[in-house]
Amino acid sequence: MSHATPPPFLRDNRLDALRGLAMVWMTVFHFSFDLQHYGFFRADFYGDPFWTWQRSCIVSLFLLCAGMGQAVALAQGQGWPRFWRRWGQVAGCALLVSLGSWFMFPRSFISFGVLHGMALMLILLRWGLPRLGQGALLGLALGCLLLPVFVQHPFFDTRWTNWVGLVTHKPVTEDYVPVLPWLGLMLAGAALARWLLPRLGAPRPSGPLRRGLALLGRWSLSYYMVHQPVLIGGLMLWQATMRG
């Protein structure tokens, strides 16, 4: 049997819908940030727990979905060539994010944000999943989550080393998703998918809301790259109209 057409029970849109939900949440968060940036209202996105916790939850949901997606891809028999094609898209978009943020925020541009982190962590996950049992996967996930709590060193505070995550203070950047502790969320997502896959029943018919979220989730990378330029462009046009 060819691996190009995965079994139907792996093709339901629940994971895509969950990723789509994360995209909607992210859009609301980023639009709020843009409104604050252009002076439409005041908020502390760097210190107010209302905003910082939202960011953490959104990133966590993204990485859980990414880990689950890798487990599903391996269960479907996805080969390395297809993996590298998708990885190249993620890595290329990460580079574009760095360049774009450098123009907008030269003092706090994104050198290792969510796409940079995903590009590296996807390789680690893809290599490790076939070699790790469920217990080892969960233990490693827990270790990744806890290690930065107990181990920090100034060596990791530079832009060249802070990607590891063992920093003594958070770097000045608009987005920061280091390998530690965030790899733990991706590993946890893979473990969750391994546990769920044998227990999933046949997919039920989806309503329009879930179908819409699933469509958004399937195009998550493209949407991620265009949503901020569209939001910022719209706000700049609105601001110019108000001044005119």
Question: How many separate domains does the chain show?
Answer: 1
- Checking if the pLDDT of 220 tops 50, the result is yes
Lowest pLDDT segment from 72-76, 107-111, 174-178, 205-209: 205-209
Please check whether residue 118 lies inside any domain of the structure: yes
Please check whether residue 3 lies inside any domain of the structure: no
- Checking if the pLDDT of 34 tops 80, the result is yes
Per-residue exposure over 162-186, b if at least 16 CB sit within 10 Å of its own CB, e if not:
bbebbbeeeeebbbbbbbbbbbbbb
Please check whether residue 40 lies inside any domain of the structure: yes
Ordered DSSP codes for 87-132: HHHHHHHHHHHHHHHHHH-TTS--SB-HHHHHHHHHHHHHHHGGG-
- pLDDT for 84-105, tens place per residue? 999 999 999 999 999 999 988 8
Mean pLDDT of 123-138: 93
Residue ranges making up the domain that contains 198: 8-243
Mean pLDDT of 196-203: 70
Please check whether residue 52 lies inside any domain of the structure: yes
Q: What percent of the chain has pLDDT over 90?
A: 70
Alpha helix segments (H runs only) across the chain = 14-37, 49-75, 80-104, 114-128, 134-150, 179-196, 208-218, 220-243
Please check whether residue 112 lies inside any domain of the structure: yes
Please check whether residue 87 lies inside any domain of the structure: yes
Please check whether residue 70 lies inside any domain of the structure: yes
Adjacent-strand bridge partners of 186? none
- Checking if the pLDDT of 158 tops 50, the result is yes
Please check whether residue 232 lies inside any domain of the structure: yes
